[in-house]
Amino acid sequence: MNSVVITGCGLITPLGNSIGEFERRMFAGDSGIRDIRGTLVADNFPVPFAGIIDDTGLPSAEALGLPSGRNSRGLRYAVLATRQAVHDFPEGLPLDGIIYGTPGGVFFELVVDTYRDIDTDRIQWNRSRAEYLLEVMAKDLAERGHGEIAPERLISINSACASGIHCIGMAFQFLKAGLWQRCIVGGIDAGAWESSLMNFHLLNALTTADVPAGEASRPFSPDRSGFVKSEAAATLLMETRKSAEQRGARILAEVCGFGLTSDAYRLTDGREDNLSVIRAMEQAIETAGIQKEDIDYISAHGTSTQLNDRLETMAIKKVFGDHAYKIPVSSLKSQTGHPTVASGAMETVACILMFQRQRLAPTINFRAGDPECDLDYVPHKSRPAEVKYILNNAFGFGGQNACIVLRKAD
């Protein structure tokens, strides 16, 4: 079996549109969340906050050779994040596939924009397919000298908020088994639109707290009241260690364990016994071939909802026992909000930066006092730490649970 490594990464996020800017702001404890009333939504819109990408300095859709319009934003961000990830990847070296987390369904705004013409012959139905995004990415990679990717190797995944880690885990399995040598993985969510925000609001999942925008996402705090919907694109270049070493690539991290389970319970709420979440974490650690005590840090799903943060903390205690109190845990979503299908990939990039700097990202806005959330959540400020193994968690609506174990590069 092959060992599997990450050799490239790129992202477009509310905390920055480059690895350097994202790194600086993440460790500084900045927030990328802002008030959207009166700008992106009406003054009386029930959802006041979102994590919005500032794309004023990014190339336009036209400059990238992409179709213009609101529905092209996700394409832009995914292409730009992917170009960052393959910046040092040699031309002429083929990629075996793309596995990418994509939003599900068709946004109401896309339907409205399309039907304004009324002329059904002009409706570009093709662009509403999730696979269309991957086809555009594959075309861009081919034009940049990375070869054609067969359509059957363009894999679009939507397992809700578990999608990013699910994609990394699937690639891990393909590469480990020797089916592929190198591939692109990641996720995109550029849907902080009125309809998407309203959908989550009607599920009582989003915070509407009367607080400053930068303090709205407060995972594990007793007064947490829901997550903040956000946007992000994150792309990783994954390959076998043999492939990476043969071309002299810089190895950023190793993916060494993967767990994937399903609650088979409800469309939104997690199981109260959390058995499937516990099993996903255990699977990831077992397949990594390490002991639970080897985990130095946990990148939490940490959405800032009452239910998720309580159940995730409970699951960590079940998996690690008393040792859970010795493991730092933090939630990047306190800074970025929750970009759903892109979150796991974005947080994996954050983990790589923590390996490189031997420093932990904080949980900003944390307030102690919830007796059921009593672990070390790295409150307020980043701090130095010796980090060799990281457990990265992602749990999605529908009871979809995905976890990976990452190892620091030698």
State the amino acid at position 64 in one-letter form: L
The torsion defined by the Cα of 93, 94, 95 and 96, in degrees rounded to 10, comes to -140
Number of C-beta neighbours around residue 23 at 10 A: 21
CA 237, CA 184: separation in Å to the nearest integer?
5
Which residues carry out catalysis? Answer: 161, 301, 338
Angle (CA) 347-348-352 rounded to 5° is 115
Would you tell me how many other CB atoms lie within 10 Å of the CB of residue 152? 7
Dist. CA 2–CA 127, nearest whole Å: 37
- Cβ contact 162:392 at 8 Å: no
Residue-wise pLDDT for 34-44, tens only, equals 999 999 999 99
Query: Which is nearest to 73 in space by CA: 158, 235, 190, 188?
Result: 190
Distance from C-alpha of 102 to C-alpha of 230, rounded to nearest angstrom: 14
Give the three-state DSSP class for 206: strand
Alpha-carbon distance of 64 to 314, in angstroms, equals 46
pLDDT > 90: what percent of the chain? 79
Classify strands 389-396 and 400-408 as parallel, antiparallel or unpaired. Answer: antiparallel
Give dist(CA 134, CA 123) in Å, integer: 20
Domains of the chain with bracketed CATH = 4-246 (3.40.47.10), 257-408 (3.40.47.10)
Residue pair 372/364 in contact by the 8 Å Cβ criterion:
no
The answer to whether residues 322 and 169 touch, using CB atoms and an 8 Å cutoff, is no
C-alpha pair distances (Å), 396 with each of 12, 254, 342, 393: 22, 24, 12, 10
HSE at residue 89, side-chain half, CA atoms within 13 A, is 30
Give ∠ CA 199-344-66 in degrees, rounded to 5.
Answer: 70
What pLDDT does 395 receive?
Answer: 95
How far is it, in rounded angstroms, from Cα 70 to Cα 406? 36
- What is the structure's pLDDT at 344? 97
pLDDT tens by residue, 291-300 = 999 999 999 9
In the beta sheet, which residues pair with residue 84?
A: none
pTM over 0.85: yes
pLDDT tens, residue order, the chain (410 aa): 899 999 999 999 999 999 999 999 999 999 999 999 999 999 999 999 999 999 999 998 888 888 766 557 888 999 999 999 999 999 989 999 999 998 765 454 555 555 555 555 555 656 666 678 888 899 999 998 999 999 999 999 999 899 999 999 999 999 999 999 999 999 999 878 888 899 899 989 999 999 999 999 999 999 999 999 999 999 999 999 999 999 999 999 999 999 999 988 777 776 778 899 999 999 999 999 999 999 999 999 999 999 999 999 999 999 999 999 999 999 999 999 999 999 999 999 999 999 999 999 999 999 999 999 999 999 999 999 999 999 999 999 878 999 999 999 98
Q: Could you tell me where the beta strands, DSSP code E, fall in 161-299?
A: 182-189, 232-240, 253-262, 297-299
CB neighbours of 111 closer than 8 A, spacing ≥ 6?
none
Helix, strand or coil, per DSSP, at residue 95: coil
What is the C-alpha separation between 404 and 283, in angstroms, rounded?
9
